[in-house]
A and B are shown apart, each in its own frame.
Chain A
Amino acid sequence: MILTIAHKELKILLGSPFAWIVLALVQAVLAWTFLAHLEAFLEIQPQLVKIANPPGVTEAIIMPVFAMASVVLLMITPLFAARLIAEERRNHTLTFLLSAPISLVEIVLGKFLSLLVLLSLMVALVTLLSISLLAGGALDPGLLLSNIAGLLLVSACFASFGLYISTLSTHPAIAGAAALGILLGLWVVDMAAEEGQADSIGHISPLSHYQGFNNGIIDTFDLAYFMLFVLVFLVLAVRRLHDERIGG
């Protein structure tokens, strides 16, 4: 049933030009970033040779491209997540799912899964960009894998958060703007905390937990944070739909 719902979501999503336009724009932005870093790397390469233990292509190109990708995903995931419940409510189709013999957990997981598939597609495109560097040299597979895993985890966080915000609204646009605003807000709080002394409120945003993965360090604390973040907002989304049935 989870797969049936995920399949339906993907069909509706990929049937509209919206998803393709966003995918194309994301790819264009990331390709631009990639080429810019590649050019910079080629320029400084002669000097790098003189240093002992110079940074390789993975550090010099792939790391910044993946860091950029995480910010781009922060921006676009709310756009996709916002429609998941709010649009069904707006079009009066939520009744179709609620009257069928499926549980709320299945509905929420199905929708979350559809979003993960779409985000994995974007992560796959970024990965392909990086792998193209193999044509000219060797990559650090460990660093690349940790970046891929981190990007998938951080986008899962954005997805579950966006999905929860979507359950609160009847307007996809409002849900999208709210989710984006809050995610950006958390990121700004983290940046401010890093600059100042207020370390206690740092590390609120999923993005700051991605930094470790970006540098090739897989910290169990970050892993636990991601898992908890995803779980909490999925549970909240189910709770919200349940309460709606009670509260009317």
Chain B
Amino acid sequence: MTTSAQIPPALSARRLSRQFGGKMAVQDVSLELRHGEVLGFLGPNGAGKTTLMRMLTGNLAPSHGWVEICGKDLLDKPQDAKAHLGYLPEIPPLYRELAVDEYLRLAARLHRVAPGDITSALHRTKQRCGLASLGNKLLGTLSKGYHQRIGIAQAIIHEPDVVILDEPTAGLDPNQIREIHSLIRDLGAEHAVILSTHILHEAESICDRIQIMHEGRIVFSEAVDRLKQKGESLEELFVHFTQSGKMSTSLNHPGRHM
């Protein structure tokens, strides 16, 4: 019989740092993500969110530290680790010349979905992301809202354990934002999700836990339920922790240990 203690966390990172030239973009970040948890990364522009996401997905090697995805080391066994990972970068990586179905089939094949299962995975994912009517449309002809949804679709078509979404609602209209929110909440039921955003109410409404990043460090981490219990305003916290020079380390407890 397996207990939850024996299953490795969906994602765990220890003491990640990354410098560009002399500048530290990410400093000493540790985090742990349980299965079925939605973790929100908040922070002002340039706080290091995107750099952190790129390290968590193996697009950028950390200067220090390590990342494990479902117990597999991202640096030692990149391919085993990446098989459990779906990633939507800040700019959706779309081939404008391909049709929606072609693109998603390619994503499925590259992520090792068995050839016999690709058609059903494609159907299921399109249904989920509201793309069912778009099979033969070229990606280049579609609107930004669809691009974002196709970006999410390519990140989840292989049913990864960890889904990492970098600002999935940037540049969308309120209706589209609402659709994406319900999709992410839906995802959170089965997958572990990391979400970066700078829209505070977005994080509050869809995340289980929130971490605020500032100048490359995690300066605040708390479960959304606890915040609501304490009646603290996320906006005040955000302003408090991200104003330069007011960094508090007393609340800096990276992730909860299991």
Contact = CB atoms under 8 A, between A and B. Distances in A.
Given A4-B110, A92-B93, A248-B20, A98 B98 contact: no
Nearest to B51: A248
Interface string B88-123: 010111111110001000110111100000000000
A100 B92 CA distance: 14
A1 B110 contact: yes
Interface stretch (B29-37, B79-87, B127-135, B184-192): B79-87
Nearest to A14: B97
A245 B102 contact: no
B106 A99 contact: no
A93 B154 CA distance: 12
Interface in B165-198: none
Contacts of B94: 91, 93
B239 interface: no
B61 interface: yes
A99 B61 contact: no
B6 interface: no
A9 to B, nearest CB: 10
Contacts of B58: 98-99, 245
A12 B87 CA distance: 23
A100 B113 CA distance: 12
Nearest to A98: B59
Contact of A100 (B20, B80, B111): B111
Contacts of A4: 106, 109-110
A96 B83 CA distance: 13
B97 A103 contact: no
A16 interface: yes
Interface band, chain A: 20 to 34
B79 A101 contact: yes
A5 B107 CA distance: 11
- Among A16, A101, A102: residue with most chain B CB under 10 A: A101
Interface string A67-109: 0000000000000000000000001111111111111000000
B83 A248 contact: no
Given A15-B97, A101-B111, A245-B59, A92 B89 contact: yes
Contact of B79 (A16, A92, A102, A246): A102
B57 interface: yes
Interface string A12-24: 1001100000000
A239 interface: no
Contact of B93 (A1, A93, A245): A93
A93 to B, nearest CB: 4
Contacts of B251: none
A99 B58 CA distance: 6
B61 A96 contact: no
A245 B154 CA distance: 22
Contacts of B91: 92
B60 interface: yes
A125 B95 CA distance: 30
B61 A101 contact: no
Contacts of B92: 92
Contacts of B89: 92, 95, 99
B61 A246 contact: yes
A245 B91 CA distance: 18
A11 B102 CA distance: 10
Contacts of B110: 1, 4-5, 96-97, 100-102
A99 B102 contact: no
B111 A95 contact: no
B95 A93 contact: yes
Contact of A245 (B61, B80, B97, B98): B61
Given A4-B109, A12-B95, A100-B82, A95 B102 contact: no
A96 B91 CA distance: 11
Contacts of B106: 4, 8
27 contacts: A1-B110, A4-B106, A4-B110, A8-B95, A16-B97, A91-B94, A91-B95, A93-B95, A94-B93, A95-B59, A95-B93, A96-B93, A96-B154, A97-B110, A98-B58, A98-B59, A99-B85, A100-B110, A100-B111, A101-B78, A101-B80, A101-B81, A102-B110, A103-B78, A248-B18, A248-B20, A248-B60
Interface of B: 18, 20, 57-61, 78-83, 85, 87, 89, 91-98, 102, 106-107, 109-112, 154
